[in-house]
Amino acid sequence: MSRKWERMVSKNAKKANITRSKQGKAPISDPEKPLVFKGRSLLLPLLFFIIFLFLAATYTKADQNGMYLFTICGYLLVALLMYFARRPYLKVGKTSLAKRGYSRELVVEAKNIKQIIYKPGSVVIELDNKTRWVYSKRMNLFDVANIAGELQQFAESNRVAFENTTQQA
């Protein structure tokens, strides 16, 4: 099916689902949502937590500055927010992959992917512009085996080279 046809079908299915839900009936189809694999960011929250510990250790009661206490609590809050709220992810869609960038979501289409390499403990996605997206178990606590399985299906359906180096060892 062409992209335009797929968009038209999904748009009409969405309208039909809305009217069926108003009538109390089951939806005819669920739209295909991309799979999202989430990890945890470790380095930056750890850095902010170390700064928090340093500032807390150097705080003395003789200082009595409220702004210093506010700064100490701010570093702890930023470390907790970075660890729990701002999580790195890989979103696997039908024809595209997406990840969290510094300030926005970076999306790459299948035609711009050079190859996908599955190594023990990590998955590397090489793009045409010599950029590499690396998802590892050690650095970001991703479930690499599940990601590799989905990326293998993605590569087969979109004709992208997939290399599995775990079976060679």
Q: In CATH, what is the architecture of 90-164? A: Roll (2.30)
The 3-state secondary structure of 46-93, one letter per residue: HHHHHHHHHHHHHCCCCCCCHHHHHHHHHHHHHHHHHHHCCCCEEEEC
- Which sequence spans correspond to the domains of the chain? 43-84, 90-164
Question: In which band, very low, low, confident or very high, does the pLDDT at 63 lie, cut at 50, 70 and 90?
Answer: low
| pTM for the structure as a whole | 0.74
Tens-place pLDDT, residues 104-141:
999 999 999 999 999 988 999 999 988 999 999 988 89
